[in-house]
Structure 1
Amino acid sequence: MRSNYVGAYLSWVMDSYDLGAVVITAAVLEKVFYPTLGLLGAVLPVVFTIVTRPLGGFLFGFIADIRGRKKALIATVLGYSLSIGLTGLLPTYAQVGILAPLLFSLLRILQGVFIGGDVSSSFTLAMESVPRWRGTFSGIMQSGTLLGFVLVDVLFTTLARSPDFIVEGWRYIFFIGVVPAVLALLIRVKVTEPKIYVEAKKDYPLKGLSPLWQTILVMIGFWVMIYAGPQFIPTYLGQALHLSPQTYGFLALIMNVIGIPAMIISGFLSDLIGRRTIGLIGVLVGVITATWFYMFGSPTLSSMMAFGFGMNLASAISPAYLAERFKTFSRATGVGFSYNGAFIVAGFTQLLISQLSAFTSVSQSANVVLGVGAALAFIGLTIGPETLRKSELST
């Protein structure tokens, strides 16, 4: 079962690498593809990527429940490998005009579908393959998102030193993204269906989605916090504070590096005192940390470390918590649509921040939106059950 977990972990690295590529290069992509839109052009690539994830999460989650986890995993990795590679080949607005943003937007939409679908089967496969210390493995797996961001941050910080970065250098970030995707594909060939899935009584997946409204509420809250927090930081530092790409790239790198142990610690603690308890604590710590940074802090090394640690505690429970909320015959569909369906709302987080910034400062706008996300996550967790040792996966 080792290949099951490793393959799923690499999915998470790839997921965040791709998203990190458009987040960290947002200020550059705005100039290359949307030169007339300003801050709106910087957030559109992120919006296009994440609002289409629910479709992929539902479609490939359904396939994973009906036809098997492995088949869905192979299909999604092929899709997002092709999409990220083609992004690096696109012509710019200066070269072909309106065709450039249209092609770029189309690839981001397709990427969202395949990445969303990948979550459904990779989350489910990993959590069904680890009978013990599922919370710890959940934290490790979720930290793979930060490893992907770290990789893209290192590349960005290195490549941004070149004076030609805005012309050609940004393309290499997308070309290199094909490498972990191919590696994930090679490992997935060895993936086997989890025993609990093989032995489970099959049924129509839509019959087992009663927890969906509560799990989506939790994930909307988590994702609004993330996209108004860590995923907004590169845009905030580059667009609002006008830091150089090298400077904000380095600060984002530090923020993501410190988030890795935060997620692992959070996952471990959830095995001791419960998923819901750690989730609630993480939400409170996150909103306090963000308020301090946006309202009173400055972009220093220490503030980025504190921000990265505090903002990554809550979401570490996501893989284990979601997998434990659904029965086996509907788990991939439930997990996939919970995690990705939240983007129907949360996907517009940064767009909302950009619109609110017309009336107040960008920092205040981000903090208000993040606070709303924290409230939603807190309510969702409070009304939902504790899942530690109380789910079908624990039997």
Structure 2
Amino acid sequence: MLGWGLDAYDFVAYSFVAPIIAQVFFSQLGHLGSMLATLAAFSVSLAVRPLGGVFFGNLADKVGRRHVLYVTMLGAGLSSFLMGFLPTYAQAGLIAIVLLIILRFAVGFFMGGEYSSSGVMAVESVTKWRGLASGIMQAGFDVGIFGVTFTYTLVATYLPEKAMYAIGWRIVFWSGIVTTVIGWLFRRSLLTEAFEWEKAGKVKSPYRTLFTRYWLPVITILLATMGFLYEYYVMLELSPFVLQNVLNYTPALAGLILTVLSASDAIGSIFGGVLVDWLRSSARALLTTALIIIVLIYPTMYAVLMVGNGWLVLLWDFIAVLPVGVLQVYIRDLLPPSVRATGAGLGYNGGTWLAAWAAIITTLMAGASAKPGPWLMSITINTVWSSVLIVISSIIALFLVRHLNDVTQRNL
């Protein structure tokens, strides 16, 4: 939970200050070019996550989840903290951009390892109400969202606009070190190993076992996470832009709405997890969340963009986040403990490779317009097609789980 709070802090901090990053690092590229370059720099931290996921996931399957989580939290937190010390393009030229990309690489690498262990550990450590446990763990992301939105709103409210471009954006990144230190201390004193991993048999090479025996479950998980993260990152990366640049809300009002968004995000995460327990199937629960998204996305975005009700970004967030409360149990149901962290590291973080381009593709389709019409169609199309990936994955998983159950019954 604390690790996902750190992930959210870095993610949302970058999203909030993206208009400033565009100006202080990429203003020489013009309006559209600077926006795309800013999103591309952020996408580096998403695209590299599979590397960190596989590297740390392999370690977690061999030596345990707990020790890996100490390293990933500290590495990701320090990398994000250092963002606040970067020189601007005016101060260092291309060196500033290179340093920005290096730090985004480091954040993504460590955060990829964070999910490979923390996600599966949450559901490996309980025997009942796994869906609820999964949803609550994911709600840690919203603790991070609340922290950074609260910080950003304070900074944007009390600092002059010029100061935001000089020191304000740096304060937003620096403040995240509080989450890192508190989270690391809690882990060192309270975290115990998942009993499901401790009882399970170990394999010499999680990589080999995963790719020779469990390649279809990995592809199934990959499809689901590609679809979820794509539509979710469209929402999370572009909602600040929609509020400020399309609806012309002030930074302070946009910050207030996005602070409240942390509550809708937490509720959506937990509701998605509870669906698993209600339906007694992670595959059926995931399919349900995808269908809800497909049905509700157009009317929700119409109300946000065409009616101009920015507060309904909260509904956009609620429906977009529903699948995440399901995914930890989904991964557990499809993979055994001996390769689960490696599979989660590859399958879940592999989904970020597609999601890394979500905001860029959606922005290009809308032409970075300041008018709502192009955004309505662009956001709707990108959300629907990515949700279809979740539907396909869920259907495959239903057959896989049934097959695994049949094999188990024959072996009894």
Q: TM-score, normalised by structure 2?
A: 0.87
Q: Contact 1:285–1:311 at 8 Å: present in 2 too? A: no
1:29 and 2:21 correspond: yes
In structure 1, list runs of 5 or more residues that go unmatched. 1-8
Q: Contact 2:303–2:309 at 8 Å: present in 1 too? A: no
Q: Contact 2:284–2:398 at 8 Å: present in 1 too? A: no
Structure 2 counterpart SS, 1:130: coil
1:170 and 2:176 correspond: no
- What is the 5 A alignment of 1:284-303? 284-298=291-305, 299-300=308-309, 302-303=311-312
1:112 and 2:108 correspond: yes
1:324 and 2:333 correspond: yes
Aligned-partner Cα distance in 2 for 1:294–1:42:
24
Aligned-partner Cα distance in 2 for 1:284–1:30:
36
Matched with 1:5 is: none
Matched with 1:233 is: 239
Deviation at 1:385, TM superposition (A): 2.5
Q: Contact 2:58–2:342 at 8 Å: present in 1 too? A: yes
Inter-CA distance 45–156: structure 2 relative to 1 (3 Å threshold): farther
Matched with 2:285 is: 278
Matched with 1:333 is: 342
Inter-CA distance 287–233: structure 2 relative to 1 (3 Å threshold): farther
Structure 1 counterpart SS, 2:256: helix
Q: Contact 1:139–1:267 at 8 Å: present in 2 too? A: yes
Structure 1 counterpart SS, 2:85: coil
Inter-CA distance 239–48: structure 2 relative to 1 (3 Å threshold): farther
Aligned-partner Cα distance in 1 for 2:135–2:87:
39
Deviation at 1:174, TM superposition (A): 1.1
* Mean Cα deviation higher: 228-237 or 98-107: 228-237
* Mean Cα deviation higher: 71-80 or 295-304: 295-304
RMSD: 2.2
Matched with 1:371 is: 384
| Residue number among 350, 356, 374 corresponding to 2:359 in the alignment | 350
Q: Contact 1:12–1:145 at 8 Å: present in 2 too? A: yes
Q: Contact 2:293–2:384 at 8 Å: present in 1 too? A: no
Q: Which amino acid aligns with 1:246?
A: A
1:385 and 2:392 correspond: no
Matched with 1:3 is: none
Q: Contact 1:27–1:238 at 8 Å: present in 2 too? A: no
Once the two structures are superposed, residues 308-357 of structure 1 have per-residue CA deviations (whole angstroms, 9 ceiling, x without a partner) of 32222222111221122210110100111111001122211111112222
Q: Contact 2:257–2:311 at 8 Å: present in 1 too? A: no
Once the two structures are superposed, residues 45-81 of structure 1 have per-residue CA deviations (whole angstroms, 9 ceiling, x without a partner) of 3312111111111110011111221221122122112
* Mean Cα deviation higher: 361-370 or 151-160: 361-370
Matched with 1:6 is: none
Matched with 2:142 is: 146
* Mean Cα deviation higher: 29-38 or 302-311: 302-311
Deviation at 1:248, TM superposition (A): 1.9
Matched with 2:55 is: 59
User: Alignment length, in residue pairs?
Assistant: 383
Once the two structures are superposed, residues 4-48 of structure 1 have per-residue CA deviations (whole angstroms, 9 ceiling, x without a partner) of xxxxx1011111111111112111211122222332134223312
Deviation at 1:366, TM superposition (A): 2.1
Larger radius of gyration: 2
Matched with 2:200 is: 200
* Mean Cα deviation higher: 195-204 or 56-65: 195-204
Structure 2 counterpart SS, 1:202: coil
Matched with 1:250 is: 256
* Mean Cα deviation higher: 219-228 or 238-247: 238-247
Once the two structures are superposed, residues 77-110 of structure 1 have per-residue CA deviations (whole angstroms, 9 ceiling, x without a partner) of 2211220121111111122122212111110111
Share of identical aligned residues, percent? 29
Aligned-partner Cα distance in 1 for 2:292–2:201:
41
Q: Which amino acid aligns with 1:381?
A: S
Q: Contact 1:22–1:45 at 8 Å: present in 2 too? A: no
Q: Which amino acid aligns with 2:362?
A: I
Aligned-partner Cα distance in 2 for 1:171–1:88:
4
Matched with 2:408 is: none
Once the two structures are superposed, residues 99-135 of structure 1 have per-residue CA deviations (whole angstroms, 9 ceiling, x without a partner) of 2121111101110000111111111222211111110
Deviation at 1:302, TM superposition (A): 4.5
1:97 and 2:62 correspond: no
* Mean Cα deviation higher: 53-62 or 165-174: 165-174
Aligned-partner Cα distance in 2 for 1:288–1:97:
47
Aligned-partner Cα distance in 2 for 1:224–1:277:
20
Q: TM-score, normalised by structure 1?
A: 0.91
Matched with 2:410 is: none
Q: Which amino acid aligns with 1:192?
A: T
Deviation at 1:157, TM superposition (A): 1.1
Q: Which amino acid aligns with 1:212?
A: V
Deviation at 1:250, TM superposition (A): 1.9
| Residue number among 266, 273, 277 corresponding to 1:267 in the alignment | 273
Matched with 2:409 is: none
Matched with 1:132 is: 128
* Mean Cα deviation higher: 350-359 or 140-149: 350-359
Matched with 1:14 is: 6
Aligned-partner Cα distance in 2 for 1:322–1:102:
36
